[in-house]
Structure 1
């Protein structure tokens, strides 16, 4: 129609270039793979980034789901191109999958930047896949949507429902305490993880895909669909349809993932009893857009936000129960009075309009999803502890801490590294009581890539006495499926000379969650004297990407991104397109 603006597709630089030689080269290359130019020229080309492999059971359903995404793209008038990235199977990547989150984001960013793509679908599920993809998408700022694979089914062990993740840690303690036999342990191995998909609890995967939906980067109502449900395929097709529309509307990540949207996401973490890893990932994603989230904001914004979701590890139910009770749509609807309802969802509507309508009643919903007026726990969210032991902050999940340990003073039992801890933690000669504070050093981002070693095992001698929680401190992370009085992400980390480096067995440590303090009971002069005598350990990584990560990784309160990937401002965050010329 006359006066109607015509969308200029980014891909036209490759396929409709004024330089006839370039157009010939690119169209010819597409023909070689069976892509007829008549089928794709002038249509939005959608890059579908698939992150499954044969090690990643969480992401494996995308091997099939991608075909439904393609169908949706075609039905909406776009043209799908499937692409593959590295995958981050948390079960297998050692010592830590966190460092590979950044590599995944680089893989996506550079693949988008350098190739003829107009919009992006990101196929995610496993813990670091979700934030890594969002980081890459944020850096490019082309229209993008995520599609989760969905959570796996709960298992059954001796007539009881068991969930991979939280129940694994509980039964591991029982096994170490002699309450499970070797035959029991083998039977549990065969029954706890009996289908594909992410962990069926509110661990890091479930937390991050919920936050993706809250940020407007996933279709409303799709983050909590089980992997085995037919609705997951319907969501895949709908995602393919919607991304084509988003390209035409130029609805980009920077218009969805605003500072206010990140504030909403932080509040959602508290309502869900979500993973401590969210503090690292949200900070990293926001940083790619030039948005800074001071670590203190995670506590300030969640003041007065109670726990309204009764899922493991903070509660008792599973993701299957969560879905049956109304899922994330129900949670966001109940949380709306605390949110900025003017933020956009990927539909182009506000979240107030998207989630504000009444929902039908669901079976047993009050046992799984509560309201702000009748929460499961009043204290939730992340406490940000500061003091002379963590000058730049440390993190603990309030909803997962035993109430008796909200305030604690105890003497340290120190492990200088993970191998030292493994060698001594279950020894009957270890001098330890439940009142001690277990301290693990040299497991932060620079030292080891920040693996999930922070949930230090309860010593076997104490497990046999019935102890199931005690205060633990480290510069590492822990699995989002874990629980307990575990203080994580201590910054600065030990290997770069943070005060954690000089803690000795027998030192007194005080923690107070209500006052958000973590203190080593030594005066400043003694801490300074010990630091002067301290010798930095040799770095573990001598070459390759792990060395690059160690040399450029930011500390936990800054999201553990690489400094070379973090813009200094929103202006610097703007996407720089490539020069399309002869290859």
Structure 2
């Protein structure tokens, strides 16, 4: 039985596989029909890929199978054929040595799946920290119509009458146990209350930051970022996305049409306004590199330097993602920036409307959660980019998560050669350290760890915590979880493992941090620094084989996005020759 419908307005990419009566066309269609697909689904309608990072090993994304079904409904309603496929799912909470090591692998998986299969458009199902940038990176490299559907944050954690923020509470409670303020039994009891629904972190961590980036960049429908994972409206927006991608294919609306320089500058300003994760720096640089938009570390400071943080969410503030959604979510933030002339409303979005058009009629329902621009949580939020002889290629710090009294500081270095050295010595009561010291962690960058783990927010020595010290200056070439906090200098580049100046810092060296002046200085004579660098030898041996070897050989520095050198720039929507 077949049905007729109006022909599609133009020849589709999938027609190279399914559109015709040749032996090869019949081969492709006949195998697909073993799934019970009716013949008229191959009558020239668009084939929409549902690129799913669902995995039970990735708790943030374990509910994406249900959302994918909602997307399929929308695709069918709009006259398309949805076909779901899995890609590598780098889960933040379990992967070793770090999920960041596998972001590029996931992006490669996405790109090759899109390039090799008969797809006209794709819905990107993401949630956990690295899955969102990885899917966007892969889709940008192919540049076919694409839309992001996020899994959404968990409900608020609840413990002893208060809210528990995923990640942030973990760091806080862990320190409290070390200082004796909290018992181990209390900590274990709180564990049961931290993650009480499907979804990603309920703080403004990396997952929520990157969901917000997908929305402000224009690759997700308005409101996508903040809807809780278990809210029925999350399912509805997934279905809307399924409908919308079909129209995007009809209009040939591609990432390259949306991800302009303007879109990235809007995103940088938004990171400051929401108090977003420092991880956004690396991911946006990588996404820009894939789509061919010139974006540098200095753009972060130039564009976002004076943006106030107005979202009062942990780790910088008080509330969690549930309250953010109930207050109106990201559109409220974008509207505030737009009205103040800090956002370009002409940027195009996947909705087919400009950013300004999507924000018409937006209302702030809770000014304590999303504050007015003239009553910010932090007057200058965003990401501060530091430079100096300790970070010639740059380093970053998140002012909204740091202690004001440490934003200008001079202290004696206490150096840890790597994360194992840190773990071996940090609890030693005889460690020569006080609250004025600067903790320095080496060899934890992209090549050094390998993968650049989230170990930059080193826990303080117990001897300091017991004195009531809650924060110290910490410097590394590593990353920090978006849920973490503190006066932590990250992404120091060049990293120690490639011979950056961080590698030659020694115990007792004096280090100066001046965030206002954007300065990070090793107070050692130039000739002494040169001599140390001349005598430097790598402390990290390259992996012998496998993906780790590929990663070590080709990963770039944090200052350019830590992507692989051979993946920069798009490669177009090529259709390979049929091998049958």
Determine the structure 1 residue equivalent to 2:453: 451
Q: Which moved more, 1:259-268 or 1:23-32?
A: 23-32
State the Cα distance separating 1:55 from its structure 2 match.
1.5
Q: CA RMSD in A?
A: 1.2
2:47, 2:81 within 8 Å by CA — same for their partners in 1? yes
Q: State the alpha-carbon separation in 1 of the partners of residues 546 and 149 from structure 2.
A: 31
Q: 1:346 aligns with which of 341, 345, 350?
A: 350
Determine the structure 2 residue equivalent to 1:578: 575
State the Cα distance separating 1:35 from its structure 2 match.
2.1
Closer/same/farther in 2, CA of residues 405 and 228 from structure 1, 3 Å limit: same
Determine the structure 2 residue equivalent to 1:399: 400
Q: State the alpha-carbon separation in 2 of the partners of residues 61 and 119 from structure 1.
A: 23
Residues 314-393 of structure 1: pairs in structure 2 closer than 5 A: 314-336=316-338, 337-355=341-359, 357-360=360-363, 362=365, 365-393=366-394
Secondary structure, counterpart of 2:304 in structure 1? coil
Q: 2:491 aligns with which of 489, 492, 516?
A: 489
Determine the structure 1 residue equivalent to 2:90: 88
State the Cα distance separating 1:536 from its structure 2 match.
1.0
Task: Flag structure 2 segments of 5+ consecutive residues without an equivalent.
Answer: 1-6
Q: State the alpha-carbon separation in 2 of the partners of residues 563 and 155 from structure 1.
A: 41
Q: 2:211 aligns with which of 209, 212, 218?
A: 209
Determine the structure 2 residue equivalent to 1:246: 248
Q: State the alpha-carbon separation in 2 of the partners of residues 183 and 411 from structure 1.
A: 36
Closer/same/farther in 2, CA of residues 250 and 538 from structure 1, 3 Å limit: same
Asked if 1:14 is matched to 2:11, the reply is no
Residues 26-425 of structure 1: pairs in structure 2 closer than 5 A: 26-336=28-338, 337-355=341-359, 357-360=360-363, 362=365, 365-425=366-426
TM-score, structure 1 as length reference: 0.96
Per-residue Cα deviation, 1:422-469 (whole angstroms, up to 9, x for no partner): 000111011111110000000110111101011111111101111111
State the Cα distance separating 1:304 from its structure 2 match.
2.2
Aligned length: 571
Determine the structure 2 residue equivalent to 1:563: 565
2:9, 2:250 within 8 Å by CA — same for their partners in 1? no
2:364, 2:370 within 8 Å by CA — same for their partners in 1? no
Secondary structure, counterpart of 2:300 in structure 1? helix
Q: State the alpha-carbon separation in 1 of the partners of residues 383 and 579 from structure 2.
A: 51
Q: State the alpha-carbon separation in 2 of the partners of residues 17 and 504 from structure 1.
A: 69
Per-residue Cα deviation, 1:210-254 (whole angstroms, up to 9, x for no partner): 010011111111211001110011011101000001000111000
Q: 2:522 aligns with which of 520, 523, 539?
A: 520
Secondary structure, counterpart of 2:434 in structure 1? coil
2:18, 2:42 within 8 Å by CA — same for their partners in 1? no
2:510, 2:522 within 8 Å by CA — same for their partners in 1? yes
Q: State the alpha-carbon separation in 2 of the partners of residues 538 and 442 from structure 1.
A: 8
State the Cα distance separating 1:37 from its structure 2 match.
2.9
Q: State the alpha-carbon separation in 2 of the partners of residues 122 and 230 from structure 1.
A: 19
Secondary structure, counterpart of 1:445 in structure 2? coil
Residues 422-501 of structure 1: pairs in structure 2 closer than 5 A: 422-447=423-448, 448-501=450-503
2:46, 2:249 within 8 Å by CA — same for their partners in 1? yes
Per-residue Cα deviation, 1:165-215 (whole angstroms, up to 9, x for no partner): 111111110011111112111101111111110100100000001010011
2:8, 2:44 within 8 Å by CA — same for their partners in 1? no
Per-residue Cα deviation, 1:244-295 (whole angstroms, up to 9, x for no partner): 0100011100001111100100000000100000000000000001112111
1:212, 1:218 within 8 Å by CA — same for their partners in 2? yes
1:13, 1:580 within 8 Å by CA — same for their partners in 2? no
Runs of 4+, deviation exceeding 4 Å: none
2:393, 2:494 within 8 Å by CA — same for their partners in 1? yes
